[in-house]
Amino acid sequence: MKFFVDTADVGEIKELAESGLIDGVTTNPSLVAKSGRDFKTIITEICALTDGPVSAEVAALDADGMITEGRALAEIAENVAVKVPLTWEGLRACKTLTDGGTMVNVTLCFSANQALMAAKAGATFVSPFIGRLDDMGLDGMELIEEIRTIYDNYLDLNTEILAASIRTVGHVKQSALAGADVATVPPGVIKALVKHPLTDKGLEAFMADWKKTGQKIV
């Protein structure tokens, strides 16, 4: 499974990109607003930090507006993935942009039927929102499983499932088990994936024993 980091904080992205463990970046209007910086400047800087897809979201709600904005965003760098909402207008824009060679991330997916339509429109990625479904008392992971089953039934559908709205390390594990192609994860959750108390305890014991030997490797 590929990992995208879900943030518009260039400093955080730089740190994670240097680790070699992330495959792309997703942003959204809320993350951009939180950064307090110019949108296009942020996307330009992020695209220079990673060769992987960088999702940049349109602001228009009509298809023609999305297409115009999407083409402008795609000019920033070759690895921009234009992000459009899963609406009828968004799918129309997706089809046009995809046919023109632009990567498209169709976002705000909450049903398997929506995901099927996104794939039919040629989306590069579809982003089901796990956490937001969980907030409603529904099972976000069930949606990932349903989409995986549908996509696997039809080999001509090449859209990747991008598990989004991930809040916990458990969400990451469950997404991988359900067959998501990508998980977009906040920086803090990515770092938490490697943490385990038994790892810390074991390392502490090993270091204590090594110290007793009085030796040095270099």
Return the H-helix or E-strand segment holding 83: strand 80-85
Catalytic residue (choose from 40, 83, 95, 216): 83
Contact 44, 27 (CB under 8 A): no
Nearest to 184, CA basis, from 53, 25, 15, 30: 25
Amino acid at 62: D
Whether 83 is catalytic: yes
Phi, psi of 126 (to 5 degrees): -125, 135
- DSSP secondary structure of 114-132: HHHHHHHTT-SEEEEBHHH
Contact 175, 183 (CB under 8 A): yes
Other CB atoms within 10 Å distance of the CB of residue 210: 12
Nearest to 59, CA basis, from 44, 49, 71, 69: 69
Catalytic residues: 83
